[in-house]
Amino acid sequence: MSFFISADSLMYYEHYECPAKGAKTLVMIHGAGLNSTFWQSIVPLLEWRYSILLYDLSGHGQSSEGHADISWELLTGELHALLRSLRVDRVTLLGHDFGAHLAVQFALSYGSMVESLILISPFAHLPLTSLHKEYKLRASLAKKASRQTLGEAMVKRMSVKHQDAVLTQRIVQAFERVHFPTYAQMVELAIKPVFPKDYLLLQKPVLLLSGEQDPVFTPALAGLTHAQLETTGFLVVPDASSLVFVDQPIYSADWIDAFSRKPLPGQRNNAINRELRQHVQQLTKQGYEHWGGNRIRIRCLGKFEVCLNDRIVPGGWNTRYAKSLMIYLAFHPTATREQLCEALFPEVEHPNAMRNLRVYLSHFSKLLEAIDAEKPCLTIGRDVVKLHYLVDCDLMEFLNDLQQVAAEQDSEVKYGLCEDLLSRLSGKLMPGCYDPFALSLKEKVEQLWEGITLWAADYCMQTGKGGQAVPFLLSGLQHGYADETLYYDRLIAIYQQSGNTKELRKWVRKKRNSLSTPPAEEKL
């Protein structure tokens, strides 16, 4: 057991020195939330040929909590200082998850020290909304949920052996020891939606490993990542998830050994691969440019607010159907005038509706006049109205997340998602919007939220966390669509169990008042 002091923090490491002459050094960098012990599944298979260095990232395992601000410079500097203290000047880097990104950053900063890289299930750099939401969920759970909840949510994402009680406990305990502010910063650092120039600058041999059953860094996603890079070998490990070296240690160790001894040249320079690489790089670049382009942000949860490229659009939204037009176009960026009339004021006769719409659109277009932008936010044609900016609408995201949570089968993951949703919903839904389209959206949200809040409350009560059920029930009463007695019954059961007589009387009284015929007086 050894510790190294770097930049006012304590770093835990283990150094296995191979007695063989000229033995290469493998540096193994674990993923966010885990620790160096997870590499022990392959250390015995490699230490006879290689010197091996394991260490716990800042805020993980036995290392100290770390720093207020995490950066690539800080993390790569800590590893560099550790290597210098051990007088190691040439390494092969193995990185898993966040550790794979750290390996890339280290290779860019200290290239002369790096012989090759093995990247296992890295955070993928492709402009996919669902992928970005997965990483945002991890950061959100780290900020708002318990360590145990996050650990339990991650187990099935990481290993096909998630039914192994010992492994599950190890992963959950690893997350329980993590300094969560550091973990959240690491995730956010790795997912910044920028074109992955860092990967394209790599001129080192790289081996990409993807688990056949990895639900995040899928084999298809790994293949696209591989297609962008000139110097990579690529392998899908069968019957494995993200932790390929835990799920298939012998298979993984054999490939790590083979690649470390002789990096795979592959057929990266043939004409087909060159053309494919150019196309994938261009598509990825265009995707990130679209993400980074002009954006309109619409807030509908709690209050109504519109921003054009971070500039708040002031008043004028409470007149001439401006809010209604904004919400409809957020969900349908291209719409005909007929579609707008039918969705927003179907009760008005068509000629009158079309005349009114001209007035409403004139007012609406003035609100969305872009400043210092080459491309207009809105164009109004003779027949078609089109919103050109990328839409970022909290209601749309919330509705998509509600549907995702409703379909989630894993209870631990589902509850973690419920906690995140609860923290985002406050105040009124779409205040001041009463057109048929807005009301249909509100009804859809309320129906989904009813089922989710009741499920979350029942989950809390079944797992002995009745007190945590109360916020879900109160939110369901405020925003739900169901019979209020469904919520009253659960609140009454919670306060009966906790012995809180005051709250018990309150909710019994509310239930009685909600019934058409009050029941006989009950003894409390």
* 3-state SS string for 167-229: HHHHHHHHHHCCCHHHHHHHHHHHCCCCCCHHHHHCCCCEEEEEECCCCCCCHHHHHHHHHHC
Contacts 24+ apart (CB under 8 A), 370-374: 370/294, 370/308, 370/309, 371/308, 371/311, 373/294, 373/308, 373/309
Are 332 and 283 within one domain?
Answer: no
- Are both 167 and 303 inside the same structural domain? no
Tell me, yes or no, whether 250 and 318 share the same domain: no
> Tens of pLDDT along 221-235?
888 887 777 667 889
Q: Among 265, 288, 311, identify where a domain stops.
A: 288
- Tell me the sheet residues that pair with 210: 236
pLDDT at 516: 59
Q: What is the pLDDT of residue 197?
A: 58
b vs e for 118-131, b when ≥16 Cβ sit within 10 Å of the residue's Cβ? Answer: bbbbbbbbbbeeeb
Q: Convert the pLDDT of each residue in 389-411 to its tens digit.
A: 989 899 998 998 899 899 988 88
Q: What rounded mean pLDDT belongs to the chain? A: 87
With H, G, I as helix, E, B as strand and everything else as coil, classify residue 451.
helix
In this structure, are 158 and 240 located in the same domain? yes
Flag whether 488 is in a domain.
no
SS3 87: coil
Residue 65 is assigned to a structural domain of this protein: yes
Same domain, 67 and 196: yes
Tell me whether residue 462 is in a domain.
Answer: no
Burial class (CB in 10 A: 0-12, 13-18, 19+), 330: buried
- How many structural domains is the chain composed of? 2
Question: With a threshold of 0.85, does the pTM exceed it?
Answer: no
Residues 208 and 307 in one domain: no
213 and 96 housed in the same domain = yes
The CATH number of whichever domain residue 122 belongs to comes to 3.40.50.1820
* Distance, CA of 222 to CA of 228 (rounded, Å): 10
Verify that 351 and 249 share a domain, yes or no: no
Q: What is the pLDDT of residues 186-239, one digit of tens each?
A: 888 877 654 455 665 677 889 999 999 999 888 988 888 877 776 678 899 999
Residue 23 tokens read as 């033995």
Last residue of a domain, one of 288, 320, 337: 288
The set of residues, in sequence order, having a beta carbon less than 8 Å from that of 88 and lying 6+ positions away, is: 25, 51, 53
How far is 234 from 464, CA to CA, in rounded Å? 46
Rounded Cα–Cα distance for residues 474 and 484 (Å): 10
Domain presence at residue 478: no
Domain span holding position 312: 293-410+424-450
Instruction: Find all residues with CB under 8 Å of 122, minimum gap 6, and list them.
Output: 95, 97, 100, 101, 104, 208, 217, 225
Band (pLDDT 50/70/90 cuts) for residue 523 is: very low
161 token code pair: 């052996």
36 Cβ partners below 8 Å, 6+ apart? 12, 13, 14, 28, 30, 54, 55, 56, 61
Say yes or no to pLDDT of 495 above 90: yes
User: Where do the DSSP E strands lie in 30-149?
Assistant: 51-55, 91-96, 114-120
Q: Is residue 269 part of a domain?
A: yes
**Phi, psi for 142 (deg, rounded to 5):** -65, -30
119, part of any domain:
yes
484 occurs within a structural domain: no
In Å, how far from its chain's centre is CA 396?
16
Q: Are the beta carbons of 12 and 56 closer than 8 angstroms?
A: yes
DSSP structure string for 352-420: HHHHHHHHHHHHHHHHT--SS-SS-SEEE-SSEEEE-SEEEEHHHHHHHHHHHHHH---HHHHHHHHHH
Residues 134 and 258 in one domain: yes
How far is the C-alpha of 100 from the C-alpha of 96, rounded, in Å?
5
Mean pLDDT for 105-124 is 91
Q: Model confidence over 432-486: pLDDT tens digits?
A: 889 999 999 999 999 999 999 999 999 999 999 889 999 999 999 998 776 899 9
Residue 465 lies in a domain: no
Query: Is the confidence at residue 518, as pLDDT, over 70?
Result: no
Residues 29 and 83 sit within 8 Å (Cβ to Cβ): no
Going by C-beta distance under 8 Å and a sequence separation of 6 or more, which residues neighbour residue 183?
A: 32, 33, 59, 60, 142
pLDDT value, residue 524: 40
The alpha carbon torsion through 214, 186, 154, 228 (nearest 10 deg) reads -10
252 and 299 share a domain? no
Q: Which of 288, 314, 330 is the last residue of a domain?
A: 288
266 and 308 in a single domain? The answer is no
In this prediction, residue 362 carries a pLDDT of: 95
Kindly state the percentage of the chain with pLDDT values over 90.
57
Q: Are residues 298 and 273 located together in one domain of the fold?
A: no
